[in-house]
């Protein structure tokens, strides 16, 4: 099997990159996706994400247990299907702050460089205000003043109902927006259940891709690695690009000794406050059973009702830390509001009605890493998320919990106001809040940074997204972000994929 290009991973960025390559008519393209199709109701139905997590369409990665989290390991959910994590996510749409991109400090990636690509992505995904928010979500959206119909913005303190990439009550993933038109060109072949083990090189140029079942594909012009922040560095390491010492210890021959492959792993740390109250949000309560009973028919026949909820309907950005001595007053926390009673131990529906709001650190300081456990591609890597390793992140979440409670008090829930049941009113002192944070901190499922791009020689990937010291191998996914963006990472990942496709086309046409 020989193609001009091989794209590894059909996720948010991989689909966008594929579409650019297909549009430019650069030859034949194979897209290799380890997971399954996305053509199942639980992916199309926005509320279905409650069931896709933990299913065969989730990689079900776990982080390394750490002392900072009291020895806990947490779920690192990643989509394993066409559309990747855009087929399992909550569809909340944010570009990030403008200065996020300026602060990447990489030539060609400042805000004015990336803005046009966001616009192009949005012309296909068409994010719009969630059409049918629960009254408690509307109320939360008014907690920091009336933002009209605009979403909250990370540029300043604000709240609002989120803009989401769902249409006519159904998910619109990267596969729907980019892969379908790419396939329609007739130049793209998509292989599902094609799990990639490694890339092989000839005289330093990427030439072959080897699947875990032994199949081999050849690439005449290049290979694009879009397997995400967990998948891409592990494939690169199995291909011999990583810390030479570590690779040799696992019996992998070294192609390039690149010490920083897998380093710089970070995510948005988050904790949630859970509220219960009859007549507040959605939940499993006897008076809500008739609504749940008709909801599948409502969705199937009218694409309406509670199953159209993306679960995370509204949110806010606010400053939790005192304003910095340098005058820094940027929002440092994001909150997601869920108009459902969810379990205290994660996003599982539990008995009773209620709502929940979390607080995430927008720009965490802690940095972890990802390493291989063995050369066996079926074995999960060691994922050290390093949550709360930097003391400043613990302090931000302590301030953040206090500020979130204040924001919740200001939301005009009126008769629908519920009571905080977890951690509850008794948790007030800094010491007690810190303990709660350590007991419950998880992430917003936004891992980035493991193949950081940069102009410095240590960066595994160049500013043109080429893997250093080899030919015809590019990375297009969230792993290339030097620093996480201030809000959710799906739109930035698609922007990266789209720009990667354009850069590769440009590069080969020179
Ligand atoms: C539960 C959840 C909720 C989220 N909610 C939001 C949200 O509301 N808004 C938002 O902006 N962001 C959200 N995110 C984050 C966002 O979806 C991701 O940042 C984004 O999708 C990352 O894109 P990517 O292209 O880097 O990786 P992915 O989209 O994860 O794509 C990687 C693809 O590569 C495939 N792959 C991996 N390894 C291999 C291999 N060895 N061989 C072949 N294929 C492979 C994977 O199966 C996957 O399809 C959420 C994520 C999750 C998991």
Alpha helices in 154-241 (DSSP H): 174, 180-184, 228-238
Report the CATH fold assignment for 1-56+79-127+167-267+367-378+449-510: FAD/NAD(P)-binding domain (3.50.50)
479 Cα nearest atom in ligand 1: 26
What is the secondary structure of 349-366 as a DSSP string?
A: B-BEEEEEEEEEESS---
| pLDDT single digits (tens) 108-160 | 999 999 999 999 999 999 999 999 999 999 999 999 998 888 999 999 999 99
Supply the residues annotated as catalytic: 446
How far apart are the CA of 478 and the centre of ligand 1, in A?
A: 8
CATH 3.50.50.60 boundaries in the chain = 1-56+79-127+167-267+367-378+449-510
For position 345, what pLDDT does the model report? 57
What sign does the CA torsion over 493, 497, 499, 500 have? positive
Whole-angstrom Cα Rg for the chain = 22
Percent of the chain with pLDDT over 70: 99
Confidence (pLDDT) at 352 = 87
Cα distances (Å, whole numbers) of residue 477 to 84, 292, 426: 11, 37, 43
Question: Does residue 64 contact residue 208 with C-beta atoms inside 8 Å?
Answer: no
Which residue in 10, 15, 16, 81 sits closest to 43, CA to CA? 81
363 alpha carbon – ligand 1 mean position (Å): 20
- Which protein residue's CA is at the shortest distance from atom 41 of ligand 1? 196
Helix (H) or strand (E) holding 219: strand 216-225
Ligand 1 centroid to residue 227 C-alpha, Å: 8
φ, ψ (nearest 5 deg) of residue 214 = 95, -15
Residue 214 is predicted with a pLDDT of: 96
Cα 332 to Cα 105, 365, 399, 413, 443: the distances in Å are 20, 12, 10, 25, 15
pLDDT in tens, 181-204: 999 999 999 999 999 999 999 999
Alpha-carbon distance of 103 to 110, in angstroms, equals 8
Pocket lining for ligand 1, CB < 6 angstroms: 8-14, 32-35, 53, 77-80, 84-86, 88-92, 195-196, 226-229, 231, 235, 445-446, 477-478, 488-491, 493
Q: How many Å lie between the centroid of ligand 1 and the Cα of residue 246?
A: 26
Question: Distance between CA atoms of 457 and 477, rounded to whole angstroms?
Answer: 20
Cβ–Cβ < 8 Å for 212, 243? no
pLDDT given at position 147? 83
Give me the residue label for tokens 């292989």: 191
Q: Kindly report the number of other CB atoms within 10 A of residue 345's CB atom.
A: 10
What are the tokens at 308?
């159209």
pLDDT at 382: 98
Q: How far apart are CA 73 and CA 442, in angstroms?
A: 9
Q: Which atom of ligand 1 is nearest to the CA of 53?
A: 1
Contact between 110 and 102 (Cβ < 8 Å): yes
79 Cα–ligand 1 center, Å: 5
Identify the bridge partners of residue 156 per DSSP, sorted by sequence position.
none
Q: Boundaries of CATH 3.30.410.40 in the chain?
A: 128-164+269-361+389-440
Output the residue whose Cα is nearest ligand 1's atom 16: 490
Which residue has the least CA distance to atom 23 on ligand 1? 12
352 dihedral zone (left: phi>0; alpha: psi -120 to 50; beta): left
- Name residue 489's beta-bridge partners: none
- Residue 288, pLDDT score: 87
Q: Which CATH class is domain 128-164+269-361+389-440?
A: alpha beta
How many other CB atoms are there within 10 angstroms of residue 421's CB atom? 17
* Spans of the chain, pLDDT less than 50: none
Q: Whose CA is nearest to atom 48 of ligand 1?
A: 84
Question: Residue 258 — φ and ψ, nearest 5°?
Answer: -120, 95
pLDDT at 35: 98
């Amino acid at each position: 099997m020989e193609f001009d290009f091989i794209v590894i991973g059909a996720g948010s960025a991989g689909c966008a990159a594929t579409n650019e390559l297909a549009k430019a008519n650069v030859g034949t393209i194979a897209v290799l996706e380890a997971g399954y199709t996305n053509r199942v109701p639980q992916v199309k139905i926005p509320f279905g994400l409650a069931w896709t997590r933990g299913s065969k369409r989730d990689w079900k990665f776990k982080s390394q247990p750490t002392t900072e989290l009291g020895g806990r390991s947490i779920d690192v959910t990643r989509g394993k299907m066409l559309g990747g994590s855009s087929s399992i996510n909550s569809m909340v749409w944010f570009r990030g702050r403008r200065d996020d991109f300026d602060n990447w400090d990489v030539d060609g990636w400042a805000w004015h460089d990336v803005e046009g690509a966001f616009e192009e992505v949005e012309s296909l995904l068409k994010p719009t205000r969630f059409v049918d928010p629960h009254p408690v979500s509307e109320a939360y959206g008014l907690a920091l003043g009336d933002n009209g119909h605009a979403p909250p913005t990370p540029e300043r303190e604000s709240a609002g109902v989120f803009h989401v990439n769902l249409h006519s009550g159904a998910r619109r993933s990267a596969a729907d927006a980019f892969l379908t038109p790419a396939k329609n060109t007739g130049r793209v072949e998509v292989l599902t259940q094609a799990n990639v083990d490694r890339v092989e090189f000839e005289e330093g140029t990427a030439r072959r891709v080897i699947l875990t079942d032994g199949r081999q594909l050849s690439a005449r012009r290049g290979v694009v690695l879009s397997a995400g922040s967990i998948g891409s560095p592990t494939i690169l390491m199995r291909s011999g690009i990583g810390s030479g010492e570590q690779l040799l210890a696992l019996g992998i021959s070294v192609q390039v000794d690149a010490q920083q492959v897998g380093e710089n792993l970070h995510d948005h740390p988050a904790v949630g406050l859970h509220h219960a109250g009859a007549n507040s949000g959605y939940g499993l309560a006897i008076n809500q059973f008739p609504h749940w009973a008709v909801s599948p028919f409502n969705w199937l026949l009218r694409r309406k009702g509670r199953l159209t909820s993306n679960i995370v309907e509204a949110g806010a950005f606010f400053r939790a830390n005192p304003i910095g001595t340098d005058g820094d007053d940027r929002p440092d926390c994001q909150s997601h509001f869920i108009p459902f009673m969810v379990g205290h131990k994660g996003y599982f529906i539990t008995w009773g009605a209620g709502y929940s709001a979390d607080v995430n650190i927008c720009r965490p300081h802690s940095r972890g890493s990802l390493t291989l456990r063995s050369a066996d591609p079926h074995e999960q890597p060691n994922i050290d998320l390093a949550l709360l390793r930097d003391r400043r992140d613990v302090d931000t979440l302590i301030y953040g919990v206090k500020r979130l409670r204040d924001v919740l008090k200001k939301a005009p829930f009126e008769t629908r106001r519920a009571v905080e049941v977890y951690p509850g009113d008794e948790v007030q002192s800094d010491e007690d809040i810190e303990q709660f944070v350590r007991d419950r901190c998880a992430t917003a499922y936004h891992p980035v940074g493991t193949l950081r791009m940069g102009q410095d020689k240590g960066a595994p990937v160049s500013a043109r997204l080429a893997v250093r010291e080899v030919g015809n191998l590019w990375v297009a996914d969230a792993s290339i972000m030097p620093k996480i963006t201030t809000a959710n990472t799906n739109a930035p990942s698609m922007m990266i994929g789209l720009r990667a496709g354009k850069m590769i086309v440009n590069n080969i046409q020179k």
